[in-house]
């Protein structure tokens, strides 16, 4: 048999060895493709590993039979000019310095991404730093009269679900890039970021409030306070509260900021790979229509949520440094990070024994952002936490059933631009006044 004939036979054998309906690995997905349960294996590598378990359908949480993902071309919005200028001016001077106990000190950071071009042996940790100090507004508010309160929905394996609504105010106090605010707020008192939450409903939880303060000294533990309305007092929680459930949901404090809330000082990171990830970053307000627009028991996005696109992502494994790992909730956190915005788009969370615990997925709703045009973080978000060990799930979104979402920066009502009330422990004592 000649060499050409042998080659033809070999190609025929290889072709016959591929099961019908399963294509070779795809390098991209053409716009117009519709992914269903019949063809998903062709595109499995464009999903997070956790979401792939839903497609496989071997656990409690499974993709619904009628699932459809409509793919469109990728759209990347230009980042705000002042943020890009901060990258160019300060990006080359930031350093990560290891300490004797294994922690990492962030030095010389001013604004923008600390590491606009992550590389070298600490590439994954530099990416993690960029996630922490990513592009965002300087204040996000969700109140009945400024934006909208956030709906939290939780559901068990029997389909029983409950809802609560939460007022919130997230504020950046330092490293600001927007010319509308000082680089460091005069009232920052050493903080760089604060997260304030208060339950509106149900009535028995109303006025329960939670405040987390992150400091400019990135080696310092965050401070966490809770206001207990029955006691009319504020309590400071221990550092282990970062693993406590957040307002009864499947999230913890370390999951609070649309993904990882940890900061680089107390964590190491390993680089896993680069890939393209199917993502919903052109989300519509239909996400606020729970449960009607949530597909099946899984509560997967219906086509009404908007089209999906391929995003270039970094995949990293973030975990506590060995000296601080004892007692921490997660053994590893596999994060899928958008390369253009450093927003987390998916996570696989493993327990302290490195067994898959939670599958996390995020969607973004773009919106007009001050004077900088449309931004992917401008309109709203959804976070979904599927607990695959306890068959439980939480859906947390900024979008209400009537389609409203948060207010950002200049949209925030003046009464909420109050650092003392919403970014300090003393402010919690004003909750019921």
Rounded CA gap, 354 and 359, in Å? 13
204: domain range? 1-433
| Ranges of the chain with pLDDT below 50 | 1-24
Q: Report CA 326 to chain centroid distance, whole Å.
A: 25
Query: Quick one: pLDDT at residue 374?
Result: 95
Query: Quick one: pLDDT at residue 239?
Result: 83
Q: Is 312 exposed, middle or buried (0-12, 13-18, 19+ CB in 10 A)?
A: middle
Query: Quick one: pLDDT at residue 25?
Result: 54
Contact 341, 76 (CB under 8 A): no
Looking at residue 12, the DSSP 8-state letter turns out to be H
Structure tokens at 128: 């993690």
Query: Quick one: pLDDT at residue 241?
Result: 82
What's the half-sphere exposure (Cβ side, CA atoms, 13 Å) at 58? 5
Q: Which of 375, 382, 422, 413 is nearest to 400 (CA)?
A: 382
**For the chain, how many structural domains are there in total?**
1
What is the DSSP secondary-structure string of 314-343?
EEEEEEE-GGG-TT-SEEEEEEEEETTT--
Instruction: Give pLDDT tens digits for 105-146.
Output: 999 999 999 999 999 999 999 999 999 999 999 999 999 999
Contact 299, 155 (CB under 8 A): yes
Backbone angle region of 255, left / alpha / beta, with phi > 0 → left and psi within -120 to 50 → alpha: alpha
CATH number of the domain to which 190 belongs: 2.50.20.10
Query: Quick one: pLDDT at residue 19?
Result: 37
Query: Quick one: pLDDT at residue 12?
Result: 36
> Which backbone phi and psi does 279 adopt, to 5 degrees?
-140, 155
CA distances 185 to 213, 373, 384, 420, Å, are: 14, 25, 33, 12
Query: Quick one: pLDDT at residue 65?
Result: 97
Query: Quick one: pLDDT at residue 412?
Result: 96
Question: Residue 178 in 3-state DSSP?
Answer: coil
Helix (H) / strand (E) element for 351: namely: strand 344-351
Q: How wide is the angle at C-alpha 123 spanned by C-alphas 366 and 254, nearest 5°? A: 55
Query: Quick one: pLDDT at residue 242?
Result: 86
Helix (H) / strand (E) element for 11: namely: helix 3-16
Query: Quick one: pLDDT at residue 321?
Result: 96
CA distances 123 to 73, 135, 320, Å, are: 29, 19, 17
């Amino acid at each position: 048999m000649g060499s050409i004939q042998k080659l033809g036979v070999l190609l025929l054998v290889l072709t016959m060895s591929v099961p019908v309906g399963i294509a070779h690995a795809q390098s991209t997905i053409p716009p117009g493709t519709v992914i269903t349960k019949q063809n998903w294996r062709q595109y499995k590598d464009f999903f997070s590993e956790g979401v792939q378990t839903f497609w496989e359908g071997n656990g409690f949480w499974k993709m619904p039979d009628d699932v459809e993902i409509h793919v469109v071309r990728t759209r990347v919005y230009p980042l705000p000019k002042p943020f890009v200028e901060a990258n160019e001016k300060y990006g080359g001077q930031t350093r990560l310095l290891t300490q004797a106990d294994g922690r990492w000190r962030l030095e010389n950071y001013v604004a923008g991404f600390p590491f606009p071009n992550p590389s070298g042996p600490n590439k994954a940790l530099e990416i993690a730093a960029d996630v922490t100090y990513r592009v965002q507004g300087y204040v996000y508010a969700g109140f009945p009269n400024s934006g909208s309160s956030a709906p939290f929905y939780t559901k068990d394996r029997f389909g029983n679900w409950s809802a609560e609504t939460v007022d919130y105010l997230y504020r950046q106090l330092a490293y600001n890039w927007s010319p509308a605010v000082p680089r460091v707020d005069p009232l920052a008192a050493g903080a760089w970021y604060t997260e304030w939450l208060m339950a509106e409903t149900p009535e028995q939880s109303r006025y329960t409030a939670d405040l987390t303060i992150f400091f400019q000294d990135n080696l310092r533990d965050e401070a966490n306070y809770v206001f207990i309305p029955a006691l009319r007092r504020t309590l400071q929680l221990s550092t282990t509260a970062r693993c406590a459930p957040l307002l009864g949901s499947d999230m913890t404090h370390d999951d609070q900021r649309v993904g990882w809330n940890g900061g680089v000082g107390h964590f190491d990171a390993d680089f896993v790979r680069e890939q393209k990830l199917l993502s919903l970053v052109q989300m519509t307000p239909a996400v606020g229509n729970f449960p009607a627009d949530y597909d099946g028991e899984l509560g997967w996005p219906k086509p009404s949520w908007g089209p999906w696109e391929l995003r270039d992502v970094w995949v990293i494994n973030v975990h506590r440094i060995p000296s601080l790992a004892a007692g921490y909730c997660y053994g590893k956190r596999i994060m899928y990070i958008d390369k253009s915005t450093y927003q987390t788009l998916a996570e696989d969370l493993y327990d302290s024994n490195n067994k898959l615990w939670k599958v996390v997925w995020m969607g973004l709703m773009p919106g007009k952002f001050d004077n900088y045009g449309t931004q992917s973080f401008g309109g709203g978000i959804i976070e979904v936490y599927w607990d695959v060990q306890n068959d439980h799930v939480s859906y947390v979104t900024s979008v209400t059933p009537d389609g409203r979402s948060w207010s950002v920066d200049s949209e925030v009502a003046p009464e909420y631009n109050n650092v003392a009330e919403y970014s300090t422990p003393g402010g919690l004592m004003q909750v019921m006044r």
